[in-house]
């Protein structure tokens, strides 16, 4: 059985995946953005091994979460699930001066990937909407464009696929994959979502557990446990490396190759 860390796992798909993994006999480490949410997580899943606490919108807290993770035995897998949604109406800045959507959805997975002791498997949650990205990093921080929350979200979910594919290329000993869970009626997805909620958490749990031979791949993109095609630009090594360089510059955290 595996030890699996899931970011953003106090509710929604993160908690659903955690419950499924525990039911299958795996050890699960949860993550909450603050102490109150951590208490909620412990009540929701008392079988969890631990709950890490930190608001992934700030660089200091990203580092704190990584430090907490590294005080525990090395996880077999990390699911990068924490995210803000597509309905952000304005460009909110963090205490680090970064767009909050970019900080949580793009920079936090990069920093945690770089600082947490390297697991066997990394799973990055993207979205069907990542295909609406332009396929470049032009104005990634939305400093010149008029804010569009849905488009900004789509671009961060493209960044998550870029990160997964870059890790797969640069860390061949790690299985790094990305997936879309579908548009489902969670707090993030909203009540109008039309996809199957019962399927939305299963692929990330399946990939993280790594039991099925079909999961023994890297640099792939999944939807409901089937390989599918990501935006072609996600395979562009130049764009992948540009994202790593941008995140390293903004965070001060180097990506070790």
Among 86, 110, 124, 153, the active-site one is 153
> Catalytic: 110?
no
Q: Report d(CA 204, CA 233) in Å as an integer.
A: 23
For 89, the 3-state DSSP assignment is coil
Among 86, 110, 157, 221, the active-site one is 157
Q: Please report how many Cα atoms fall inside a 13 Å half-sphere around the Cα of residue 12, on the Cβ side.
A: 25
> Catalytic: 132?
no
Which class for 206: exposed (0-12), middle (13-18), buried (19 or more C-beta within 10 A)?
A: buried
DSSP string, 48-87: -SEEEE--TTSHHHHHHHHHHHHTSPPPSEEEE-----S-
Q: Please identify every residue annotated as catalytic.
A: 153, 157
């Amino acid at each position: 059985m595996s030890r699996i860390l899931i970011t953003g796992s106090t509710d929604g798909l993160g908690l659903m995946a955690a419950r499924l993994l525990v039911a299958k006999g795996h050890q699960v480490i949860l993550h909450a953005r603050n102490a109150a949410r951590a208490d909620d997580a412990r009540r929701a899943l008392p079988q969890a091994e631990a709950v890490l606490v930190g608001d992934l919108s700030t660089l200091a807290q990203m580092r704190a979460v990584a430090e907490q993770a590294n005080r525990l035995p090395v996880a077999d897998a990390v699911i990068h699930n924490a995210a803000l949604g597509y309905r952000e109406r304005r460009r909110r800045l963090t205490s680090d001066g970064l767009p909050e959507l970019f900080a949580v959805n793009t920079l936090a997975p990069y920093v945690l990937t770089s600082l947490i002791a390297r697991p066997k498997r990394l799973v990055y949650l993207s979205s069907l909407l990542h295909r609406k990205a332009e396929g470049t990093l032009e104005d990634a921080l939305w400093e010149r464009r008029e804010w569009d929350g849905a488009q900004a979200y789509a671009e961060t979910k493209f960044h998550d696929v870029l990160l997964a594919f870059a890790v797969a290329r640069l860390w061949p000993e790690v299985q790094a994959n990305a997936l879309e869970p579908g548009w489902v009626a969670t707090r993030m997805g909203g009540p109008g979502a039309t996809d199957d909620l019962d399927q939305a958490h299963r692929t990330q749990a399946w990939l993280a557990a790594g039991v099925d031979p079909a999961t023994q791949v890297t640099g792939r993109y999944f939807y409901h446990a089937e390989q599918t095609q990501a935006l072609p630009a996600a395979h562009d090594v130049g764009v992948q490396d540009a994202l790593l360089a941008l995140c390293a510059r903004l965070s001060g955290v180097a990506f070790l190759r």
